[in-house]
């Protein structure tokens, strides 16, 4: 998500990107023969503005999408048809997340609120108010009892999912928080910070454990590995970086995108990373070698987010071309 540019028209965004006074990381050279190219399985058309985020239901049958058209849409993955349109926000919706138990959806909006929805009937449950600027990211704890929200106001807030009440706030004092993610054991949080760092916090005590330095521009997204030992970060510097969460050490830098990288997501088995970029592509990486395995092309504008299906055989992507797309990547397992 380009949250810090959210108030500018798309044309100004493009001009600003071209004029940026920094040197982006150079893409790594990868043998073309080693890269598979998957075709899109389905294009989901219905939103009337940018699609900002995608989230799979735990059973893999439904996809949720968030859009600047102020709505969340639920899609049948098999047919590609819209099942339900969730309308409550008064401004663009920047993030959406499905609770691990499948019962609740959370959406984050420019209207400074988080909305909780009944995932079965699409009815609104709670509107969570407290942030003083756009809410750009939401993430559920593994037990579905707590929701974390990240905002341009520089804070991350924790909410009791049952009551809708806030009970803890983390202040970074470094500007907007672009993304928040829970560790698999629910004890730790990772923040993507506007000061080019990744921050690791103890969720229980509120103590800052590590500040991870290495990116040369804003960090846009963070994601924990399934085993909880690593965090991947995506940055406007054009790279994805892999960090050891215990020591805070940089383990690997993935270079290949030719523009900003907005998101990174782990496959369920932890062997692959997918990244979404402003070069209009999704790339799939082998974590152990750092090599690009697939380049998914088809979107006609910036790709904001990418998410793996629960079985790891499909990817969903969100783009500023107003569409979400589904990609068959089951060949990764065959190879």
Among 62, 103, 146, 124, residue whose Cα is nearest residue 314: 62
Tokens of 145: 């009892």
Condensed to tens digits (0 to 9), the pLDDT of residues 128-154 reads 999 999 999 999 999 999 999 999 999
Query: Which run of H or E residues covers position 210?
Result: strand 208-212
| Mean pLDDT estimate for the chain | 90
Q: Is residue 5 part of a domain?
A: no
Decide which of 104 and 173 is more confident.
104
Confidence at 235, pLDDT banded by 50, 70, 90: very high
Q: Is residue 98 part of a domain?
A: yes
Q: Is residue 4 part of a domain?
A: no
DSSP, collapsed to helix, strand or coil, labels residue 292 as strand
Question: What's the whole-number mean pLDDT along residues 158-182?
Answer: 94
Q: Is residue 227 part of a domain?
A: yes
Give dist(CA 95, CA 165) in Å, integer: 20
Decide which of 1 and 236 is more confident.
236
Sign, CA torsion 326/152/279/332 = negative
Q: Is residue 309 part of a domain?
A: yes
Q: Is residue 223 part of a domain?
A: yes
Give dist(CA 118, CA 20) in Å, integer: 42
Question: What's the whole-number mean pLDDT along residues 21-25?
Answer: 37
φ, ψ for residue 54, nearest 5 deg: -135, 145
Q: How many domains does the chain have?
A: 1
Residue 288, pLDDT > 70, answer yes
- What local confidence, expressed as pLDDT, does residue 40 receive? 75
CA 238 vs CA 2, 102, 122, 217: distances in Å: 14, 34, 37, 9
Which domain covers residue 240, as residue numbers? Answer: 33-334
Can you give the pTM of this predicted structure? 0.89
- What local confidence, expressed as pLDDT, does residue 148 receive? 98
Decide which of 147 and 37 is more confident.
147
Question: What's the whole-number mean pLDDT along residues 86-106?
Answer: 98
Q: Is residue 168 part of a domain?
A: yes
Looking up residue 157, the CATH number of its domain turns out to be: 2.130.10.10
Q: Is residue 2 part of a domain?
A: no
């Amino acid at each position: 998500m380009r949250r810090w540019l959210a108030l500018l028209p798309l044309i100004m965004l493009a001009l600003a990107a071209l004029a940026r006074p920094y040197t982006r990381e150079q893409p790594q050279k990868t043998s073309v023969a080693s890269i598979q190219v998957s075709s899109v399985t389905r294009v989901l058309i219905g939103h009337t503005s940018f699609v900002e985020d995608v989230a799979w239901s735990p059973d893999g049958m439904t996809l949720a999408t968030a859009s600047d058209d102020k709505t969340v849409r639920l899609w049948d993955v098999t047919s590609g048809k819209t099942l339900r349109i969730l309308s409550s926000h008064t401004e663009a919706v920047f993030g959406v997340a499905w609770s691990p138990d499948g019962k609740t959806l959370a959406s984050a909006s420019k209207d400074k609120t988080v909305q909780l929805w009944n995932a079965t009937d699409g009815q609104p449950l709670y509107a969570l108010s407290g942030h003083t600027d756009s809410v750009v990211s939401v993430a559920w704890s593994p037990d579905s009892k707590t929701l974390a929200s990240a905002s341009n106001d520089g804070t991350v807030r924790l909410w009791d999912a049952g009551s809708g009440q806030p009970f803890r706030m983390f202040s970074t004092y470094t500007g907007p928080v672009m993304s928040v993610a829970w560790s698999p054991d629910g004890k730790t949080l990772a923040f993507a910070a506007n000061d080019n760092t990744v921050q690791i916090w103890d969720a229980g005590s509120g103590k800052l454990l590590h500040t991870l330095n290495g990116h040369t521009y804003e960090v846009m997204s963070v994601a924990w590995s399934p085993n909880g030992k690593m965090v991947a970060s995506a940055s406007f510097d054009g790279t994805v970086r892999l960090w050891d969460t215990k020591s805070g050490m940089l383990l690997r830098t993935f270079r290949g995108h030719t523009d900003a990288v907005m998101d990174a997501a782990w496959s369920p088995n932890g062997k692959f990373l997918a990244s979404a970029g402003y070069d209009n592509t999704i790339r799939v990486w082998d974590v152990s070698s750092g090599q690009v395995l697939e380049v998914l092309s088809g979107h006609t504008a910036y790709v904001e987010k990418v998410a793996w299906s629960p079985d790891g055989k499909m990817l969903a992507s969100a783009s500023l071309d107003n569409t979400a797309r589904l990609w068959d990547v089951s060949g990764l397992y065959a190879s």
